[in-house]
Amino acid sequence: MVELRLDPHSALPLYRQIADQVRQLIAAGQLKPGDHLPTIRELAKSLSVNQNTVVRAYVALEQEQVIVSRRGGGTTVTAKTDDPTVRIVRQRRLSDIVSSDVLKLLSSGYRPEEIEATFYLHLARWREEIKTPAELPELKRGKAEPRNIIRIVGSHDIALNLLVELLRQRKDGIKIEVSSAGSLGGLIALQEERAHLAGIHLLDEETGEYNYPYIKRILPGRAIAIVNLAYRIQGLMLAAGNPKWIKGLADLRRTEVVFINRQSGSGTRVLLDLQLRQNGILASEIRGYERELDTHLAVASVIARGEADVGLGIEAAARSFGLDFLPLFRERYDLVMPKENYDSELFAPLLELIASDDFKKVVDQVGGYDTSQTGMTTFL
């Protein structure tokens, strides 16, 4: 049975709440093509609503070609099809929806870069919701690599996601593969030639400097280009409304507070562990410290679902899930690559996009970023 919950106090009509939740279940992969939905009578009974309310929701979904109802066959999620006619109809409908929504937003005073930033932020959120684990891509030594592929491994970042999406739009001939493996994982992937570029934000405890000490230790003697993507704000992502009244790292010790962590080797984890040591907080004192996730969006998703109260992450991830955010640290996020990649024709469009005003405007609109140094390059 599909589990839906209605909010009688919401301004949204009940039938629209039903339709929206069905859409979300489909988008998250919890309902798949061909899956049966409850009958109108069953769903109305389980939700304690009038059958006509369910009918209105199902009709709206069927008009959108999200579900299909057949006499004697029940109501099912629309199956995927390769029928060219269906593809054309769906593409036309998608274009109409996007065009209409963009027009409404522009007429309401929103700027194009605001719309673009918000769109990519929520698209990244949904990709996180539905993604499946993937193996770290490997570059096979001794085998010829396709010349149009850029493999990026490293720390998860929403500005990096935006960069990749914009580049895919503007350069059809370039294929980009991104793996979230943490900052240390990115540098190791460069060392082992399993990546062309790494995204990192690693604070060195001894020097108080970001990234450079780690690059020198892990990639000694290599000609390296370091391109600043942005400075960003790290802080505590909190359940909406901050019901546990969390005001800082010291509150992570409270037994009623549930924490959700990033994986070992990520820049965020390095930062957290350093701050815990400096504040005299033991990992064993934090409930949930041992539970690890690979991305900021994954952490934000767990908090939004009520499975945790707090996690360390970036402001943009908190915004995308409607969470509260307590800013704590400003950090440097860099893109690291061998000098030969930096000088290559393949990387030229990417580097040009990073330095462009268009990219900086979109990132600024996401929130929690400082692009004043974006595109500045250092060579080691």
> Are 222 and 338 contacting, i.e. CB atoms less than 8 angstroms apart?
yes
Query: Which ranges of 305-371 would DSSP assign to H, the alpha helix?
Result: 315-320, 339-342, 348-354, 357-366
> Does the structure show a pLDDT above 80 at 116?
no
One CATH from 3.30.1490.20, 2.60.40.10, 1.10.15.40, 3.40.190.290 for 149-379: 3.40.190.290
Q: Where is mean pLDDT largest: 113-117, 126-130, 171-175?
A: 171-175
Looking at per-residue pLDDT, the higher value among 143 and 353 belongs to 353
Place of tokens 């969006």: 297
**Is residue 140 very low, low, confident or very high in pLDDT (cuts 50, 70, 90)?**
very low
pLDDT at 141 over 50: no
Which region among 27-41, 48-62, 360-374 has the lowest average model confidence (pLDDT)?
27-41
Q: How far apart (Å, rounded) are the C-alpha atoms in residues 289 and 342?
A: 38
For 10, phi and psi rounded to 5 degrees? Answer: -75, 145
Mean pLDDT of 284-306: 92
CA 119 to chain centre: 12
The C-alpha atoms of residue 333 and residue 335 are separated, in whole angstroms, by 7
Residue 131 pLDDT greater than 60, yes or no: no
Q: What is the pLDDT of residue 276?
A: 94
Give 104 or 121, the one with higher predicted confidence: 104
Mean pLDDT over the full length of the chain: 86
pLDDT classification of 27: cutoffs 50, 70, 90: confident
The predicted pLDDT at position 134 comes to 45
Are 25 and 3 within 8 A, CB to CB? Answer: no
Q: Which CATH class is domain 14-77?
A: mainly alpha
Instruction: Please state, in angstroms and rounded to a whole number, the distance separating the CA atoms of residues 151 and 223.
Output: 19
pLDDT at 331: 93
Confidence at residue 128, expressed as pLDDT on a 0 to 100 scale: 61
Share of residues in the chain with pLDDT > 90 (%): 44
Tell me the C-alpha distance between 365 and 361, whole Å: 6
- The pTM for the full model equals 0.68
* pLDDT at residue 20 in the model: 86
Domain boundary assignment for the chain: 14-77, 149-379
Q: From CA 206, how far away is CA 218, in angstroms rounded?
A: 16
